[in-house]
Amino acid sequence: MLGDGYIKYDPVNAPQINGRLEFTFSAKILHYVKYLKNDVLAFISNESEPTPWPNPKLTGEIPTQYWFSTKRLPAISNLHAVWYKNVGGKFVKILPSNIEELLTPVGIAHWIMGDGYFSDDTVKLCTDNFSKEEVSILINILNIKFGIKSTINKRTNPNGNVVWRIRISKDSMDKLISLVSPYFIPEMLYKLGVKKINNIVLRALLKLHCMRENPGLSFGPLKSYFLLGKIQNEGQPAGNFINYFFGSTEYNVTNKCNITQDLGSSETIREVYNFKDNSFKFWFIGFLEGKGLFITTKSGDLEFKIVHSSQDAQILFFIKKKLGFGVVRIQDKIKNNHCYKVKDKNGLLKLISIINGNLFLNSNKEQFKLLLTAFNKKYETSIVYSENINKPNTLNTWLCGYTDAIGRFILTINNKPEENISANLSYILIQKNDNYDQIKYLAEILKGKIHSEFGLCNVTVNTTKLSIIIKYFNLYPLKTKKSIVYLNWKKSYLLIKNKKHLTNKELNLLIRYKKNLNRLERII
């Protein structure tokens, strides 16, 4: 949104039509356009390709721009009030009041990739849509929060309008590159002025990649800091950088050996499929702990499956895309369900390498052990089951994935004439009693209460203890359409927080939010 992002929404004339994000970029950065649409925003975008302009099929001309939009969502409508203000009947983009909190290294990386350029040995950011005062605020945030010094540059556009842009100080370029390069796609590194790698850095890249892909090998001391910044577990693999700079198979170290080759010990399984996106990995494990099924038949067939509502099938396609294996199919037309499933040997092997040693719930561990035993028998491998020594917490995405799978956000309203009007909110997780100890642990870290009956146990966090839940989902947003449920629930929380009495207007708003919650729960 600091660059070319635009929210299409008319809160005055058509507030009932939800907003959507729209992006228009130069054809020169088509790699980034596809990355933004198909990876970063995949969970709220369709699977079509970005639209070229002019359309070569209609005009025969080479496209100069590409455009795409997201789906229309209530959450995006709410963002409109944060990023725009009404000036003389026209909505003008502004800086959010909490921009200092919102701006992160990831955000700066996308800002540069989308609307920055490298000139005169430094990075310049196009902030043409913002006032001089707003640009000054951004400069202060870069300096105070990230230690990146910059100056404001005046520029007159061809149409005569004066605009203000940010010029990063040359002295801060190394710090900027170190900060944002882990979040760059290789094709966009030129915007940081990174075009060549000397032999020393090349050897470091090769060593780093080999060490990460083959932890058992020793290459001597090597730090993870170098010209391109720190490559983190969730960042780009070193091999991608090497391929980008040299474009030759001579330096291509990303091709891995056959994943089924020489499997025969517990040491090998963890290196079979080195999935580096920890944020997604722990979200996925939490999601499968709520909805995943490990299936072994008497005939020896093996299958992993996640069944989910067809109304929210996009999350299954998102999982397939992120993992790079498995298929998504219609599960039941009558029940309106889709499923993501893995049945082939290579897919199951990759899945096992992700899951083994990371499961939390007892019931899932037992089912996974059965599948692992059957896999070893069927394919004559000797993969050893690993116990999980780490527990979920509010500093990783496991709880987000688990909530996306089975979490509930409840609003109850008491507006009986003979009683005081009141409203209560609850966040609820339900599981079988087999997982009582794990649910008890979740209740402890979330400051909730645990209740057990009819073979089920649940943890409930009520109104006065919900601040930890709100903070967590602010940090780790939900990925399914349950995010829309949460948004209405959060609005209710903000409305009744610290209030002993509700006005009629507030009560009517809560009633509307409750209707939305009930309707969305039936759909999702």
- What are 430-475's pLDDT values in tens digits? 887 788 888 899 999 998 998 877 778 888 998 888 889 999 998 8
Same domain, 431 and 514: yes
Number of domains in the chain: 2
Same domain, 373 and 414: no
Is 65 part of any domain?
no
Is 422 part of any domain?
yes
pLDDT tops 70 at residue 206: no
Residue 6 contacts residue 31 (beta carbons within 8 Å): no
Is 490 part of any domain?
yes
Is 143 part of any domain?
no
Is 454 part of any domain?
yes
Same domain, 460 and 509: yes
* pLDDT score, position 229: 35
Q: DSSP class of residue 183?
A: G
Same domain, 421 and 370: no
Which residues constitute the domain of residue 271? Answer: 266-379
Same domain, 274 and 368: yes
Same domain, 363 and 433: no
81-96 exposure pattern, b = at least 16 Cβ within 10 A, e = fewer? ebbbeeeeeebeebbe
Q: What is the CATH number of the domain that holds 487?
A: 3.10.28.10
Under the phi-then-psi rule, with left for phi > 0, alpha for psi from -120 to 50, and beta for the rest, what region is 498? left
* pLDDT score, position 500: 58
Is 222 part of any domain?
no
C-alpha distances out from residue 510 to 222, 318, 423, Å: 57, 33, 8
Distance (Å, whole) CA 210 – CA 90: 55
* pLDDT score, position 287: 96
Answer with the residue of higher pLDDT: 52 or 234.
52
Residue 259 contacts residue 346 (beta carbons within 8 Å): yes
Is 502 part of any domain?
yes
pLDDT single digits (tens) 413-425: 876 655 566 788 8
Amino acid in the structure at residue 285:
I
Distance (Å, whole) CA 243 – CA 237: 11
Distance (Å, whole) CA 70 – CA 51: 13
Same domain, 416 and 334: no
Residue 478 contacts residue 405 (beta carbons within 8 Å): no
End residue of a domain, out of 335, 360, 379: 379
Is 25 part of any domain?
no
Same domain, 280 and 365: yes
pLDDT single digits (tens) 357-393: 899 999 999 999 999 999 999 999 999 998 887 788 8
* Torsions phi, psi for 190 (to 5 deg): -60, -25
Under the phi-then-psi rule, with left for phi > 0, alpha for psi from -120 to 50, and beta for the rest, what region is 167? beta
CA angle 130, 134, 136 (to 5 degrees): 120
Same domain, 358 and 441: no
What is the residue-wise DSSP string for 1-68?
--SSEEEE--TTT-TTS-BEEEEEEEGGGHHHHHHIIIIITGGGS-SSPPEEES-HHHH-PPP-EEEE
**CA 511 distance to own-chain centroid:** 31
Mean pLDDT value across residues 263-292: 70
SS3 per residue for 306-366 = EEEEHHHCHHHHHHHHHHCCCEEEEEECCCCEEEEEECCHHHHHHHHHHHCCCCCCHHHHH
Same domain, 373 and 270: yes
